[in-house]
């Protein structure tokens, strides 16, 4: 639990949770809900999104949370569509961040050991955070996406699970079932992103050589 990478986890975790929460607020603001902006959450300053206890849990047990961005879906022109887009924005931002981090590895292989260690953890944390949050169990983003696609009667019944969602989630994590779901997906995404970045690097080198 307390490995040598403990000191590098903090900046990597802060990067992952910051882009995740910022994306939620930015998408909501774009769709007409200024709540996050008025609350000062449309910023990439990690302190604005930090929940000390949640970060401590993430740091030690690799399961935790950030301070949720306040959203008022009644500002959306289409409430269901708005909730779906805002919920997907966080995981999407984590995937983009993981891709950018991988590009840094490929194009600047000479970065220092400390930076590479932080970026390596940031890549993994962003992928894990993206996939984990898409699990359709309240209060995760995936539950809101599922709610948005359900018929009104079933959506109302599903919303009643919000009270028990965190308990169900903790039980599934304790039993190791969440890891069995996340790990294969993260492995597939890692392979996919590495393939894309390898092709990009190859393309850049090829065009560079053609210039001579």
Outline where the chain has alpha helix (H): 6-30, 35-38, 52-61, 79-107, 113-133, 141-149, 152-159, 165-174, 177-210
Of 8, 19, 21, 31, catalytic:
21
* Cis status of the peptide bond prior to 2, with omega within 30 of 0: no
DSSP 8-class letter at 145: H
Q: Cα separation of 144 and 126, whole Å?
A: 20
Angle subtended at Cα 65 by Cα 59 and Cα 66, rounded to the nearest 5 degrees: 105
Let me know: does 65 contact 57? Beta carbons within 8 Å: yes
Q: How far is 47 from 74, CA to CA, in rounded Å?
A: 27
Alpha-carbon span 10 to 14, nearest angstrom: 6
What the block records as the tokens of 123 is 């890549």
Q: Any catalytic annotation for residue 21? A: yes
Pair 125, 13: CB distance under 8 Å: yes
User: Which of the residues are catalytic?
Assistant: 21
């Amino acid at each position: 639990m307390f490995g040598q990478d403990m000191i590098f986890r903090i900046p990597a975790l802060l990067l992952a949770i910051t882009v995740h929460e910022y994306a939620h607020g930015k998408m909501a603001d774009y769709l007409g809900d200024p709540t996050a902006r008025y609350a000062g959450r449309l910023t990439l300053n990690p302190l604005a999104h930090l929940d000390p206890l949640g970060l401590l849990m993430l740091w030690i047990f690799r399961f935790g949370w950030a301070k949720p961005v306040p959203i008022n879906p009644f500002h959306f022109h289409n409430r269901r569509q708005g909730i779906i887009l805002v919920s997907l924005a966080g995981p999407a931002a984590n995937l983009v961040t993981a891709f950018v981090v991988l590009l840094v590895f490929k194009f600047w292989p000479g970065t220092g050991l400390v930076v590479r260690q932080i970026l390596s953890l940031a890549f993994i944390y962003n992928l894990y955070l993206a996939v984990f949050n898409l699990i359709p169990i309240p209060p995760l983003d995936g539950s809101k996406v599922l709610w948005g696609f359900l018929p009104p009667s079933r959506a109302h019944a599903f919303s009643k699970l919000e009270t028990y969602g965190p308990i169900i989630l903790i039980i599934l994590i304790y039993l190791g079932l969440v890891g069995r779901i996340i790990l294969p997906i993260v492995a597939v995404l890692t392979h996919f992103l590495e393939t894309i970045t390898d092709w990009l690097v190859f393309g850049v080198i090829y065009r560079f050589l053609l210039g001579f």
